[in-house]
Structure 1
Amino acid sequence: MIYESETQLLYKAKEAEGLTFGEIDKSGRITNENAKGHLGQIIEESFFGYAINSIAEADFENLGIELKVTPIKTNKNGSISAKERLVLNIINYHHEVTKSFRTSSFWSKNQSLLLMFYEWIPEVKRADYRILKSHLHRFSEEDLEIIKRDWEMIVSKIRDGKAHELSEGDTVYLGACTKGATKKSVRSQPYSEIPAMQRAYSLKQSYMSTLARKVVSKETMVSISNASQLKTQSFEEMLQTKFSSYIGKTLDEIAQEKSIEINTKSKGFLQQFISTLLNIRGTSLNDIEEFSKANIQFKTVRLEPNGIPREHMSFKNINFNDWASEDWEESWIKQNFEETKYLFVVFEYKESEKVNPQRKLFFKGIKLWNMPMQEIEGRMKDFWSLGKQTLNEGVVLERRPWGSSYRISNNLPGPSSNGLCHVRPKAKDGSDKIKLPGGQMITKQAFWLDREYIASAISL
C-alpha cells in the first residue's frame, strides 16, 4: 500500500496502539522467539503491507519517513526507559567521507522517523508485547545542531584514518555503534590500512529514554540550550560559558552571590551546585533534557594543591559472577566507559592545610570527558582480562596485620597496577560482603579510576 500523506500514515500507525504483535502478525514470524529484528518485519509486512527490504532510502520513500519499532521497559521505580539504543543505518566509511551532512546517508534516511514504541517485559513471549505509542519524530532545532556536530565528529575521525578508534562516548546524541556479532565484522576504511569494526549510526539509549519519557509518559523536562547558541558553540562550549563567570571563586563567594547555603558534605551538594549555577534551582539533574539525552553523569573532583585529588574516583560496585563469565564486548565496564560522558565539576584547595586550615574550596571549572577508545581497548581491557583470569583461577585472600587490628588483602588488580583503574572496597563496613565465584566472601568492591589518571584527564 502507498500512503499518500503523513496524515494518512500516522492515522494508520495509531491503529496499532494497544495491539500485540501476535494480533498483528499474519506471516507466522512471531513464532520464532530467537529471530532478531523480526518484530519490525512484522509491522512492515503484516501491518503496513509492504515487502521487507534493505533499500538505502527511507521506508516510506515518497514521504521521506523511516519506520522504527523500538522497545521500552518499566523500571523498578515505575519510570520508563528505552531498553536499547535505536540503531539506524550502517556507515559506509568510503562513501560517507565524500558527503556533507545534508547529503549524508544518515540524513537522507533518518530525518523523519515513525517510531512505534512497544513494551518489553521480561519472561513474556514476544507475541504478547504490546504497541504503546506511535509517534512521528523530527529533530528539534536544538537537537539538530548537536546532531550535526556529532556527525561531523564521526566523519572527521574517518577522514583522519581513525575509524577504528570511533567510540559512542565521542559524541552527544548521535552515536556510531558497533554492528556485528563478532570481531570478524570489520570493514576497510579509506585513509588507513587498519580494519575498523562495522558501525551504524544510532540514537543513544539515553536519547531514546528521554524521548520515551516525553512522548509516552508525557513528562516535562527543562532545557538549558537554544538553537542560536548551538549554531555558534558546541554543547561543551555552551556549558563552559554558563560556568565560566564563577571560576576562581570560593564556594562561600558563590553561595553569597546566589543567595544560597552550600553544604559540601550533603549528598545533594553536586545537584544543588550545578542547578544553581545553571539558574534552574530545584530542578533534578535527571530532568535537564540535554544531560538526560546525552547520558551525562556527574562527578565532583577536588584537587589538592599539588593538582591531584586526594581520593581515587569510584564507580559501580562489582558483580564478580558477571565479571567471571562475561565477554569483553558485553562487559559493564566496556559499555559504560564507551557510552557515557562525564561532567567533572572541579574544585581545588589552592593552598596547603597549614596555610588554608579552613580548607576553602575554589571552583576551578568543568570538563566534559569520555574515555578515549585507545584506553578502553588498551589498559582498561588488560585490567578486565587480568581480573577475569584471577576470578576464574581463584582469588587469594590473606589476613594481614593493620595497626592494632588486621585487614584482608586480595590479589585482584589494585591501585597503581596499570595507571588507569583498579579494584578496591566500597562498602558500608567490613561486614558488608559479597560472594566470589569460588565461594569465598569478600568486602564489597567497586571499579575505581586512579586519582593520577583523573588529574591528567581533567587538565583544566
Structure 2
Amino acid sequence: MSHPPKNTAELLERCYLIAGLTLGQVAEQYQLQLPANLQREKGSVGQLLELVLGASSGSKAQPDFPHLGIELKTIPVDRHGKPLESTYVCVAPLTDLAGLSWQESWVCRKLSAVLFVPVLAERSIPLAQRQIGTAFLWKPDTEQQALLQQDWEELMELIVLGGIDQIKGAHGKVLQLRPKAANSKALTSAVGAEGQPIQTLPRGFYLKASFTAALLAQQFGT
C-alpha cells in the first residue's frame, strides 16, 4: 500500500503512473485482490485506487487525502468518455438540521477539491480489463459553486419541511438526492409531512451524470 502523498504534485504523479493501465494490472502490481464482480462490492474500484494512491482517511468524516484537503472520486465512463452513472458524494443528514449552512455542509467540504479518476467501465468489459484514464483535479468555480449550493439548499429545505418522500432523482440541476442503502430494511429517522418522526431509507447526495459529463468535456475537450 502506498504511503500518503506529501503534496498534490506527488499525488498527480502517482495518477500519471497508473493512467492507461487496467485494474487487473494495477491490482497485480500491488498484490491486491479484485472481486469477481461489482454486484456486491460496488465500491471496490474506488478502494483499490485509494490504496494505490495513498488515501488515508478510511471511513472518517474527512477528505480521502485529509492533509491535502482532496477527495477522490472515480467516474465510470463509456468508450466515448461519457459517465455511465451519477457520482456518489456523501450520506445526506435527515434529522437535527437546524442552522446547518451550505458552507458547513459535508457536501460543500467534500466537493471543495476533487481528484476525478475516469475508468473505462462498460458492462461488456471484464473488471480486470477495465482501463484507468487520466485523472484530473477539480475545484468548483463560482458558477458551479452557486449551482451546487442552490440544489443543496432546495433539497435540504424539502427534507426539513417533511417532503423527503416527494424528492425524486430529477430534482436539482447538478446535485440529486437518492436512496442509499444495501437493502430496503436499512431504515433511518427523518421528518414526516406533519412534522412527525418517520422511518425511511437513508439518502445520499450524488453529482448528476450530466454535470460530471460537462466536467470531463471541459477537461478533455470531448
TM-score range, shorter chain: 0.7 to 0.9
Does residue 43 (structure 1) correspond to residue 45 (structure 2)? The answer is: no
- Counterparts of 1:4-153 in structure 2, within 5 Å, are 4-25=6-27, 26-34=30-38, 35-45=41-51, 47-50=52-55, 53-74=58-79, 79-153=80-154
**Structure 1 residue 21: deviation in Å?**
0.9
Q: Which whole-Å CA distance do the structure 2 matches of 1:211 and 1:134 have between them?
A: 12
The alpha carbon displacement at 1:16 in A equals 1.7
SS in 1 for 2:119: strand
Alpha carbons 2:111, 2:140 under 8 Å: kept: no
C-alpha distance 98-192 of structure 1, shift in aligned 2 (>3 A): farther
Give 3-state SS (helix, strand or coil) of 1:4's partner: coil
Shift of 1:31: 4.2
Q: Cα offset for 1:175?
A: 1.0
For residues 33 and 42 of structure 2, what CA distance do their matches in structure 1 show? 11
Indicate which of 191, 195, 201 corresponds to 1:197.
201
Whether 2:213 is the aligned partner of 1:213: answer no
User: Following the alignment from structure 1 to structure 2, what is the Cα–Cα distance between the partners of residues 3 and 52?
Assistant: 13
Partners of 1:187 and 1:196 within 8 A in 2: yes
Structure 1 pair 159–122 and aligned structure 2 pair: CA distance change class (3 A): closer
Report the Cα distance in structure 2 between the residues aligned to 1:50 and 1:111, rounded to whole angstroms.
17
Question: Which residues of 2 match residues 316-331 of structure 1 at below 5 A?
Answer: none
- Note closer, same or farther for the CA distance 1:80–1:13 as it changes in structure 2 (3 Å cut): closer
**Residues 1:148 and 1:161: Cα distance change in structure 2 (over 3 Å):** same
Instruction: Indicate the larger mover: 160-169 or 183-192.
Output: 183-192
What runs of 5+ residues in structure 2 fail to find an aligned partner?
none
Checking the alignment, whether the CA contact within 8 Å between 2:119 and 2:132 is kept in structure 1 is yes
SS at match of 1:155: helix
Counterpart in the other structure of 1:3: 5
Verify the 8 A CA contact 2:57 2:66 in the aligned structure 1.
Answer: no
In the alignment, residue 190 of structure 2 is paired with which amino acid?
Answer: Q
Write the letter of the residue equivalent to 2:58: N
Q: Is the 8 A contact 1:67 1:114 kept in 2?
A: yes
Is this contact kept in 2: 1:41–1:52, CA < 8 A? Answer: no
The 5 A counterparts of 1:279-358 are none
One-letter code aligned to 1:199: R
Contact 2:148 2:174 in 1 (8 A): yes
Alpha-carbon distance between aligned partners in 2 of 1:67 and 1:156, rounded to the nearest angstrom: 28
Do the aligned partners of 1:96 and 1:105 also contact (CA within 8 Å) in 2? no
Q: Which amino acid aligns with 1:59?
A: D
Unpaired segments of 5 or more residues in structure 1?
220-460
Deviates more, 1:108-117 or 1:182-191: 182-191
Counterpart-to-counterpart distance in 2, 1:48 and 1:95: 35
SS of the residue corresponding to residue 207 of structure 1 reads helix
Contact map agreement 2:57 2:64 (CA 8 A) in 1: no
Q: Is the 8 A contact 2:22 2:132 kept in 1?
A: yes
Pair member with larger Rg: 1
Partner of residue 158, structure 1: 159
Cα contact 1:56–1:109 (8 A) shared by 2: no
Structure having the higher helix fraction is 1
- Deviation at 1:153? 0.4
Distance 2:114 2:179 in 1: 21
TM-score by length of 1: 0.44
Judging by fraction of residues, say which structure has more strand: 1
Q: Distance in 2 between matches of 1:158 and 1:19?
A: 43
Render the CA deviation track for 1:126-168: whole Å, top value 9, x for unaligned: 1111111101011121111111110100111111122222222
Task: Give the SS at the match of 1:130.
Answer: coil
Counting only pairs closer than 5 Å after superposition, residues 209-288 of structure 1 correspond to structure 2 as 209-216=213-220, 218-219=221-222
Residue in structure 2 matched with residue 188 of structure 1 by the alignment: 189
Equivalent residues of 1:21, 1:126 under 8 A apart: yes
Identity of aligned residues (%): 23
CA contact (8 A) 2:76 2:120 kept: yes
Structure number with greater CO (CA < 8 Å, separation at least 6) is: 2
Would the aligned equivalents of 2:151 and 2:172 in 1 still touch at CA under 8 Å? Answer: yes
Report SS of the residue matched to 1:114. Answer: strand
| C-alpha contact (below 8 Å) 1:27/1:42 kept by paired residues | no
